[in-house]
Structure 1
Amino acid sequence: MAKKKDIGGTPATVALTRAGMEYAVRTYAHDPAAPSYGMEAAEALGVEPARVFKTLLVDSEQGLAVGVVPVDAQLDLKAMAAALGVKKVSMADPAVAERSTGYVVGGISPIGQRKALVTIIDESALDHGTVLVSGGRRGTDLELAPSDLLAATRGRTAVLARRR
């Protein structure tokens, strides 16, 4: 995996490049009719779904936060609340998520968001040499080491995924 030098990319690629982190941009033709952005990415890129992570925003009494879980799992809201140290969380309104992050739904990256939010990444990310997350637009994923994802988001890990 080579370090990218495309400062003209998305806020996510700009943030990773400025931080000197190695990553690979993986693109595919996004199908607007796809029922799941994350599963579409896994299939189109030929990557096992457990390595492709989706970015979900939640709302709590402390404000918005980011949960990052594999695309073949659901975010366990009780586990997310526990990881944040709050009683309860709910999924954030998509319009609020877009305004806060600067990205569109289906392309929300956990990296380079407009506003820095507390980020919790499912600990299963640590089981892989590299993981993929949205690159900041539909049809673009970024492949990077889980340690770099944690560093770039100033995140921490917890068990967040609930398998379907």
Structure 2
Amino acid sequence: MAKKSSGAPTTAATVALQRAGIRFTPHSYAHDPAVTDFGAEAARELGVDAARVFKTLMVTTDAGGFGIGVVPVDSLLDLKAIAAALGGKRAELADPRAAERKSGYVVGGISPIGQKTPLPTVLDASAERFETILVSGGRRGFDIELAPADLLTATGGRYGRIRRS
């Protein structure tokens, strides 16, 4: 994996990875503005198994705050599991506008890396099966490929079993 190839967008995520010295491969594709299933579109357009493409979901918990769950695009986030991983009993998906304000990214392009407000991050344990995974690079139509352990390093996150199939 290259650190960054020329022609790849510069986003808060790519800047954060470069500053941390974390290797990644950028992947751009033409986003269709009519598509709202951003993760499935990324997997399809990049020709990557959907189990290796992960979506970033912001939640609020009864433990008092926001958190990030990162799960495969072919799965759902288990709200009880993410709540428990973040020290609570209940969680719900954050309001999209709140997610955009907290992250500094637009919905469909929210990266777990380089967020405006760093939040506790949990990466689904299924990521451990892969040498590399893809997550949003901070824009619709732009993903970053990196090792799961490097994603955890970049976000200060941890693994957890937080997906439902």
TM range (shorter): over 0.9
Cα drift, residue 106 of structure 1: 0.0
Cα drift, residue 84 of structure 1: 1.1
Counterpart position of 2:35: 34
CA contact (8 A) 1:67 1:120 kept: yes
Moved over 2 A (4+): 5-8
State the identity as a percent.
Answer: 60
CA contact (8 A) 2:60 2:91 kept: yes
Partner SS for 2:68? strand
Cα drift, residue 4 of structure 1: 1.8
Counterpart position of 1:15: 16
Counterpart position of 1:75: 77
Of 47, 66, 87, the residue aligned with 1:64 is: 66
Counterpart position of 1:92: 94
Counterpart position of 2:158: 156
**For 1:114 and 1:52, how far apart are their aligned partners in 2?**
23
**For 2:105 and 2:5, how far apart are their aligned partners in 1?**
21
**For 1:74 and 1:34, how far apart are their aligned partners in 2?**
18
Could you state the TM-score of these two structures normalised by the residue count of structure 1? 0.96
1:124-139 counterparts in 2 under 5 A?
A: 124-139=126-141
**CA offsets 1:39-75 (integer angstroms, 9 cap, x no match):** 0000000000000000000001321100000000000
Cα drift, residue 5 of structure 1: 6.9
Paired amino acid for 1:75: L
CA contact (8 A) 2:106 2:139 kept: yes
Gaps of 5+ in 2: none
Paired amino acid for 1:44: E
Cα drift, residue 158 of structure 1: 0.6
